[in-house]
Structure 1
């Protein structure tokens, strides 16, 4: 038996030896070993391997010993690789020569994971079979290394023969044992491979046992740690439960309380002893709020989170004292605790008191709600633009404000009007540099209706490097202000247009050009005519062809009563529609052609408002949106009403101006007529005076005097009519009412007009059905009215014509109608004929001042009646109807005082600074036999009292120096004239003038020119 080679400092065999395949390695001086020696040697190696493998339970140390055993017993080099976590890791190396151990170490460092390289260990791990390289040639080295450096190391080590075998345990490869010959020429054979495989098998079991031992030790350690951790956990749990600020309640499987901590007692204001038999599983308050089913899940073994609810323990716990703040908002977590067998031992309930949070949230929500209401009321949005993400966060009202869900900046930019978007972007870019987002106003896109105007402003925030990181700001809806400003501009322009001209048709045309297209696509004005029809005086649109269509529609299909423009006129209420559906146009059309014309105008929205001037509707103004696609809103109605108010005022002013011009014309005609009417009687009066001076023939003088008296009476009537009209206009005329029968009134009027009727060659026909009807009236004034109507009929009816006067009772009113077959009246004259200075015909061929009918109507009005005219047209005669209220009293015959046949003679004093007037009146009285004295001043009159004591004195009021009133007071104070009757003679005939005369002591009042009959009547009393 060959001696064993135990040293690590010699090669496995001598260089140049060629031992047989079964020969053990001989010593230096020995010859070839026998088979028995080799067998003994292999058994010795296996025995020592067993000792080494059993020497330690640390398999890395054990494997290192195995590697050292295999060198030099089996070869010059040995490495052991073990699979750990699926990766082949080198855990042991050995080499027979110390100087090559560093090369082996470098090879390990450069190839720490052999399984990932083409080296034999990786190939064995992959295949699970041993691999023996009998002779390691350069080609073998190249094919079994991963790179040039790896190959260089193998060559430096001097690998000549190599065997690698798997280490198997329970059928799995857990590592690779590799042995190599580097220092001799010996080659591995089958016997060597079987020996290495046996050592590998035993090493694998040793590794597995070591691992099992290590795993067992780790499990023991883990269990010890777990027990310690459990004990610590229980200690900590008790400490946490007792000291935790969270309310904790331990519950038995039936829901009753085992224990609570101090936090629970503080939370509920209770102690555990008051709970008694209380069970959370039967709490009605928890059942009502839906908590009980969730608790049952925890008691069944499922940890469960309980939602936040308001809970009042005084409702559910019998021993709890009631208090105001007992209710708390509580959330909870219930988790089961099991025993060793897995049964539910208890349930731990941990409460989270969120009462303060809920109250704070409630206050916060209230605050946010107030803020949102304030922002909405102020039409304001607050925004925060994150420049890094381009995300825009806004206040809650932003969606309604902008009409979109705000998020990315792009969404906001999309709603800005395209014409304004460049300005907004440019301002934002400047703000990123300056930090100031200056105030800017812009429009938002809208599919219809007025544009919405926004005003935004803000500022940028910068980081430490001076880069803008966010933009904060506010946006305000300034639509109302912009609309108001535009409305003001439109109204200002409209006001300027409306004030330029009194030609309202031209003015309305100019107004249309202001309104279109700023306020409307269409503008139209329809005015009421005098006969109550609608006339379109203005319609405007940029397209003349469409205007022609609109005119055709109005002419062919005029507005229907009770709808459209007529409804606005009748109700005095604006009519507007935000959207005109096709169905509405088709339903409103008279026929298919009407609908076709309307639809061709592409009408979308309209406003029609009344034109009101001096509380009277004079027409309508209509605004329409068509091809622009805009829609009217309620706020637009106010602008339309204001435009209509101004337009109506302009139309009314223009009409008033035209009326004023017409009145000026009539006034001029009146003055010319008055001059003519006054000159006519003056000519015969002047001629008559000359005749009286030149001719002493009594007969001719009497005829001349009669002519003069008629002309003078005509002048007096003209002046009386003017004075009466003035009194009626100023409301100073007084009615001397008494009971008057209609028959007597008509008789006196006919008697006054009969000479004129007869002279005109006319027939008068009376129809007196109401002759006995009684009126409470001023007989003289009503007679004046009827006389005027009869005289007009005589004046305007050709010779041979017929005048009719009819009276008839209509309920409690009587009608007196004067008709003729004369020149008649046009429809436009039926009302204007009663206006001041109006005359029935244009020429002055018929004479008159044009005030008679005006005076007549106003006198009838004073009696509570009405006067109007009717006619079938020019050349077809006229009818003038007086309607008066009937009196309920009867007429009683009044006694007639006896009038002496001869008037007594009087001493008369006449005082007037107009010498001619005084002497003329004195001469008239002297002719009647009275004793008359004249004075021309007040002082002269008083001087006459020394020799003349008057019975009656006629005093002019407008005396120079001492007025007639003062003279009357002096006469009343003087005994020589205290009993005289004083008569005021003046050109002023107002009631206040008469009252003032009575106050000064006058007994009577006469208005110039004095009627001689009135003077003689006063003398006869």
Structure 2
């Protein structure tokens, strides 16, 4: 059985957590004498002699003043109530610093019920309290850091089967960032397979190896089940044999996407640069092709001026090659305008059959040159469009020309048109070299000439199909390519919306008889003397009266003297340019105002607007077609 002293001592030791030195004392209330052990003397910094027999005031002198008053009150209450008391005191040690002390005591009474003696124990808990405070601070710092960082942090416990192989892991602890990055909310206590049933085996292999070896690892890996990428640092928690692994997760999905996009962009830029280089080489090649016969033709004309047949043959060749150069330049300008968003299609009601006839007329010479057979299959019903007839003709003609170029001699080209719901469907099929399946989407790319056989020997700049797609899309339509493979021919299909408001009837274009030609006074103004003299000579051959001026001042003098009815005026002249000359002419009241025709290599809508603002009546782009000149002069 425990004595009362043992009971008090045991309770105090239990509160202190064990391991500390207990000091015991007894105070004779009647004689004011405190009897204490050596531990008590050391605690209060008293000599063993004083500590053994001293008045209570020797002990109170060592207490913090604030605690001495409270301790005296605790003892008074214990005497009055007969209950044990407990206090927390601050005792000044030998170094002058106060120590935290726990005190417990009880009152003993004599046979008459009077308080006779007070006994108790004291325990220095300064070290234990400091350690607990430090532990609390450490835990608080850890928790604050754990929750504050952006990276996801979690502690997992590896789970093993009977063969010692990891088959799952359980989440023991995680911060809010981990839940945010992974989307695994409320995961503590659950296993990975519970949360993500189809989660990948390689995570188990990696974490199991970390737990087994204790070797930390850092890696970047993708999780297909979560569609995310993570930068992961894994390290074992505890000594060898521990199954716990700490994971530091950073979601790098956006970074990986940016890297992938940058790589794709770099690849696209490299491909674009390669295509540009190939295009420039092709352009040089394509321009040299017509220039060679043009130069040779000039030499033939110079040497055989008296041979009409030779002259006629050479002129046919030169005209054909010049037309080829004009087509190349026109395609380049169209692509440039579309790229800059400067193409405005001029839509009107038009019958698709009329457009197809115009496209056939344009492409037939090339088809016949290659000895192809053209099959036309057009539905009997009307196919009205609200479209730019010139641009749709250009689309179909480009597809026919493409088929003619890439079909071996003597092949078959089929042009078909039909109604499909609210769309008109135009297809151009050939028996040519075909297109590989993986290249079908590339054929519409700018400067692309797909396939090993679609090389420079076939001609062209690789912009025709890109132009086709752009023009079709400007009309709200679509174009697709199809082929059974290399050597199996190809089919290009264009869908264009039908004009729902148009009447379902065939639009017949009746050509008006040409007006009889009459002589017109024409002034040609161009600082390029060869160009001016050639155009003037051509006009003279057509029966008109023509004069030439090679700069702005000479042009103004000629207007006053020659009184031309029409002035072909170059824009880009040094000194007074075409705009300046036009404004002077328009402001001169002495003149019967002539028809002013701008001649320029610039044909954009902004260029045409500028010539209108300067007072020009018409805008023609170089080189000017003879038919256009004759048609214009016949209306003067």
Give CA-to-partner distance per residue, 1:938-995, whole Å, 9 cap, x none: 1111112343110100001112221211211222233454331110001111111111
Instruction: Summarize the Cα distance change of 1:620–1:902 in structure 2 as closer, same or farther, 3 Å threshold.
Output: farther
Q: CA deviation at 1:693?
A: 1.3
Q: Whose Rg is larger?
A: 1
SS at match of 1:806: strand
| Unmatched 5+ stretches in structure 2 | 1-97, 104-127, 157-164, 168-180, 212-219, 237-243
Q: How does 1:412-491 map to 2 (within 5 A)?
A: 444=139, 453-454=141-142, 477-481=144-148, 483-484=149-150
For the pair 1:984 / 2:595, whether they are aligned, the reply is no
1:793–1:819: 8 Å Cα contact kept in structure 2? Answer: yes
Alignment of 1:246-325 (within 5 A): none
Match of residue 400 from structure 2: 790
Moved more, 1011-1020 or 705-714: 1011-1020
How far 1:887 sits from its partner (Å)?
A: 0.6
SS of residue paired to 1:731? coil
- Tell whether the 8 Å contact from 1:738 to 1:777 is kept in structure 2 after alignment: yes
> Which one of the candidate residues 587, 599, 619 is aligned to 1:973?
587
Contact 1:822 1:877 in 2 (8 A): yes
TM-score by length of 1: 0.42
CA distance, structure 1, for counterparts of residue 355 and residue 229 of structure 2: 52
Aligned to 2:467: 855
1:730, distance to aligned residue in structure 2 (A): 1.0
Describe the superposition over 1:682-713 as per-residue Cα deviations: whole angstroms up to 9, x where unpaired.
11111111111111211110111110000000
Partner of 1:899: 513
CA deviation vs aligned residue, 1:156-178 (integer Å, no higher than 9, x gap)? xxxxxxxxxxxxxxxxxxxxxxx
* Aligned equivalent of 1:621: 229
2:437 aligned residue: 827
Whole-angstrom distance in 2 between the partners of 1:702 and 1:1000: 41
2:308 to 678, 681, 698: 698
Instruction: Map 1:934-945 onto structure 2 (within 5 A).
Output: 934-945=548-559
SS state of the match for residue 743, structure 1? helix
Q: 2:326 aligns with which of 711, 716, 728?
A: 716
In the TM superposition, residue 898 of structure 1 has moved relative to its aligned partner by 3.7
Residues 1:1017 and 2:631 aligned together: yes
Please give the alpha-carbon distance, in whole angstroms, between the structure 2 residues aligned to 1:849 and 1:912: 31
Shift of 1:582: 6.5
Pick one of 481, 502, 512 that aligns with 1:869: 481
Report what 1:883 is aligned to: 495
SS of the residue 1:824 aligns to: coil
Q: Distance in 2 between matches of 1:827 and 1:1010?
A: 42
Residues 613-762 of structure 1 correspond to what in structure 2 (within 5 A)? 620-622=228-230, 628=236, 629=244, 639-640=250-251, 643-696=252-305, 697-762=307-372
SS at match of 1:478: helix
CA change 1:833–1:948 in 2 (3 A) is same
Residues 769-814 of structure 1, C-alpha deviation per residue, up to 9 Å, x if partnerless?
3752111111111111111112112222223433333333332122
Q: Select the residue among 933, 940, 948 that pairs with 2:547.
A: 933
Q: CA deviation at 1:478?
A: 3.5
In the alignment, the residues of structure 2 paired with residue 747 and residue 663 of structure 1 have an alpha-carbon distance, to the nearest angstrom, of: 37
1:725, CA displacement in angstroms?
0.7
Please report how far the alpha carbon of residue 930 of structure 1 lies from its aligned counterpart in structure 2 after TM superposition. Answer: 0.8
User: Which SS does the other structure have where 2:561 is aligned?
Assistant: coil
Paired residue secondary structure (1:818): strand
Q: Is the Cα contact below 8 Å between 2:349 and 2:385 reproduced in 1? A: yes
Query: What is the number of equivalent residue pairs in this alignment?
Result: 468
Deviation of 1:823 after TM superposition, in Å, equals 2.4
Q: Using a 3 Å threshold, how does the CA distance of structure 1 residues 892 and 764 change in structure 2: closer, same or farther?
A: closer
Q: Aligned partners of 2:184 and 2:438: how far apart in 1?
A: 35
Q: Which runs of 5+ in 1 are unaligned?
A: 1-384, 391-406, 417-439, 445-451, 455-475, 488-517, 522-545, 550-572, 612-616
Q: How far did 1:824 drift? A: 2.3
Distance 1:586 1:945 in 2: 88
Q: Is the 8 A contact 1:757 1:794 kept in 2?
A: yes
Separation in 2, partners of 1:386, 1:668: 87
Counterparts of 1:883 and 1:691 in 2: how far apart (Å)? 48
TM-score, scaled relative to structure 2: 0.66
2:496 is paired with a residue whose SS is strand
Taking the aligned partners of 1:894 and 1:799, their CA distance within structure 2 comes to 35
Higher relative contact order (CA 8 A, sep 6+): 2
Maintained 8 Å contact 2:436/2:451:
no
For 1:477, what is the secondary structure of its paired residue? Answer: helix
Kindly report the root-mean-square deviation, in angstroms, between the aligned alpha carbons of the 2 structures.
Answer: 3.7
Q: Give the Cα separation in 1 of the matches to 2:586 and 2:576.
A: 15
Whether contact under 8 Å (2:154, 2:246) holds in the other structure is no
> Distance in 1 between the 2:155 and 2:384 partners?
63
